[in-house]
Structure 1
Amino acid sequence: MKDEKTMTLRIPMMLMVCFALAGCGSSRGGMVPLQAGPGPEPVLTLVWVGRGEAERLEGGTWKRIPEFDYTFTVEQRRYAGHWESVKSLRRAHPDYDGSAGPREQMMYFRLDYTAPDAAGRVSSAIRSSLGDGAGHTDAEFREAVLELRPDISRFAPFDRYRISQTYGYERGVLEESVELLDGETPWVRNAEKATLFAPHHFDKAPTTASR
């Protein structure tokens, strides 16, 4: 009876933790590398601005949970052998209850890439504020799958993240599916879509209508 009571008390707490992770909230702090100077210049810097919509699997059906939706920006710096990304996330729904952590969150990702193999597949080792893991993509970095193992309680209803990415460079669009999995069974997922913002110059000062 004591064990059952303990589990009953733990479940709501774990759901709060899991919702924080479901929104890509940071589970480990202090991940962004410290440096006194500007550091090496990346080969390419991209900024993505988008929105994530949350769903939870209930009785075999995906149910929208809009109070956990969020907007986000990603600063993605691509170096010769690795990428570093900092993601900022904001929840603005008035019914958000705080169970996923602060409305505003930040997380860090570093992906170290191998050279393409004979089949053109590129592998990656991942360190992030969501946990460490591995991934793979194609030689043009268009279709990627990342899997992360968070450091969480064994009582949580999931044991890893799977992030599936499609980079539509020509359209300036990034589409992602962020799933929380227990084995191969999904529990929560977020569908993200972001627009690419690249550096450019204005011919003249932008008007209010063009902003």
Structure 2
Amino acid sequence: MPPKLVIFDCDGVLVDSETVANRVLVANLARHGLAITIEDAERNFVGGTLQTAFEDLKAMGADLPDSWGMDYRTELHGKLREGVEPIPGVIAVLDRLDALGVPYCVASNGSDEKMAITLGQTGLWERFEGRRFSAKTVGVAKPDPGLFLAAAKGMGVAPADCVVVEDSASGATAARRAEMPCLGYVPKGDGGALLAQGARLFTDMALLPDLLGFADA
């Protein structure tokens, strides 16, 4: 049965900001004595929180000051302001949902400030007015299910009637714990970590309406 609410992640699902974030992280860590690749960043830190990343990176040998999280956030936001694009095909998906009268929202581990930068460049900030849920505002972050549960409650929809669209294992874990089906967007085709959390994988946003059950609508 089609969902009564579609909950989108932000980075990597609505906007192509993960590429920028991973490049900034790799360059930043090189200055702090830790060499990692873009692939390492994608595998280990996409969908996580800065606090968790800070602790993990220290354990990996990075020489990070206590102010690292704030410093990195400032650096990242500066780069994001230089330009990000919506994920290919996602605007058409939102248009389709609007035409069908299907509600949707965004639930992100990123802050409202970060979403204002990324969504604001693409016209999506206004489109999600009143339908934005951030870990900072809600007070809980993925992989805890609380963020998705808060989004469902805020939109007046039962968790069982929601579908989550995610690109990270952290997000897929949160969806599983919230007992919400998860569609895992993996444009590069490497979604083993999401699959392990029960996500149904897809590689092209054009496929999403069909996967949501709106093929004939």
- Report if TM-score (shorter chain) is over 0.5: no
**The TM-score by the shorter chain falls in which range?**
under 0.3
More helix per residue: 2
The structure having more radius of gyration, on CA atoms, is 1
Scaled by the length of structure 1, the TM-score of the pair is 0.27
Scaled by the length of structure 2, the TM-score of the pair is 0.26
More strand per residue: 1
